[in-house]
Amino acid sequence: MTPDLMEAGAEALKHHEELVATRQGSGGASYGRVVTGELDVTHGAILYLDDITVSFDGFKALNALNLNISAGEMRCIIGPNGAGKTTMMDVITGKTRPDVGKAFFGSTIDLLRLRENEIASIGIGRKFQKPTVFEHLTVFENLELALKADRGVRSSMFFRLNGEQLDRIGEILTLIHLRPSAQRVAGLLSHGQKQWLEIGMLLMQDPKLLLLDEPVAGMTDEETERTAELFISLEGNHSLVVVEHDMKFIGELTQGGKNGKKVTVLHEGSVLAEGTLADVQSNEKVVEVYLGR
């Protein structure tokens, strides 16, 4: 071991001890809560993040982040690079465990106790920043895997599509404009088509909450417009959290559908501003962060 390695180790330990010291039982706040499979949104909120802090080697990717999403809401999240948008999604989907904080789905399900696949099965769907589809499977097979069905090994071995499920796949294929490509291998699709396929896979899962990380990156203007239309049509039945850089797209999203959609601006791991798009855009702090004045 080199001396600087040991030094780095000592620093990491100190940092960890500090974190533990500041935690003050907030880690135990979930104690005694019921974790059932049922989503309870009677209190109005579908997602509840409280005081979430994530640090990587001393760098705070998320810093006491608070965020509430109401059932059926569409929330746009913007923020400069490194603001913690993707880390936030990682925390919600179980990929990253926060050092401090609480994350609840509805008012009863503690997300911090579940693994990625469990979180996916209780109804949180996630689209990655880089479109992630199963490249060697056909478009149809991609959707088939995402179809709501028993995820167990044995039931997969003996799985047979029924007519209803086939119709559902057909519906989604039409919706994502990939019906003519149903038998194509997903790896051969264009970037924009892969984005659509991934969105289609999310819809097959029929999640209550969709997390969409830069869903229109690499899409043509026309595709972007269609995507906005699609998301607006989902609002109400699903809750959506859209992380995006493309302000034009955010504009399209917030104008369509229900009025008064909120936009949240993240900066350095916490919420900088929250409000309608116009409010946020005129907010001085936001202008400063974005233009770097």
Partner 1 sequence: MNTTSNLKDMSAVLTPPVSPSFGPKTRLLSPKAWTGVFIALAAVLVLVPLFNLVVPAGNPFHLSDYAVQLTGKIMCYAICALAMDLIWGYTGILSLGHGVFFALGGYAMGMYLMRQIGRDGNYQSDLPDFMVFLDWKELPWHWAVSDSFVATLLLVVLVPGLLAFVFGFFAFRSRIKGVYFSIITQAMTYAAMLLFFRNETGFGGNNGFTDFKRILDTPIATPSMRMTLFVLTGLTLIGFFLLARWLVGSKYGRVLQAIRDAESRVMFTGYDPLRYKLSIWVISAVMCGIAGALYVPQVGIINPGEMAPSASIEIAIWAAVGGRGTLVGPIVGAFFVNGAKSWFTQAFPEFWLYFLGGLFIAVTLFLPQGIVGLTRKFNRNAAAEETKA
Q: Which is closer to partner 1, CB of 102 or CB of 127? A: 127
At closest approach, how far in Å is the CB of 208 from partner 1? Answer: 13
For residues 198 and 218, give the distance between their C-alpha atoms in angstroms, rounded to a whole number: 13
For residues 38 and 34, give the distance between their C-alpha atoms in angstroms, rounded to a whole number: 10
Q: Which is closer to partner 1, CB of 58 or CB of 236? A: 236
Q: Rule CB under 8 A: which residues touch partner 1?
A: 93, 95, 115-117, 120-121, 125-126, 128, 132-137, 140-141, 144-146, 151-153, 156-161, 166, 169-171, 173-175, 179, 182-183, 198, 201, 205, 229-230, 232-233, 256-257
Q: Which is closer to partner 1, CB of 235 or CB of 246? A: 235
At closest approach, how far in Å is the CB of 176 from partner 1? Answer: 10
Q: In Å, how far are 59, 224, 230, 264, 276 from 258, measured between CA atoms? A: 38, 19, 14, 17, 12
Q: Which is closer to partner 1, CB of 153 or CB of 291? A: 153
Q: 3-state class of 2 per DSSP? A: coil
At closest approach, how far in Å is the CB of 229 from partner 1? Answer: 5
At closest approach, how far in Å is the CB of 170 from partner 1? Answer: 5
Q: 3-state class of 51 per DSSP? A: strand
* Sheet hosting strand 45-56, strand order edge to edge: 59-70, 45-56, 100-105, 109-110
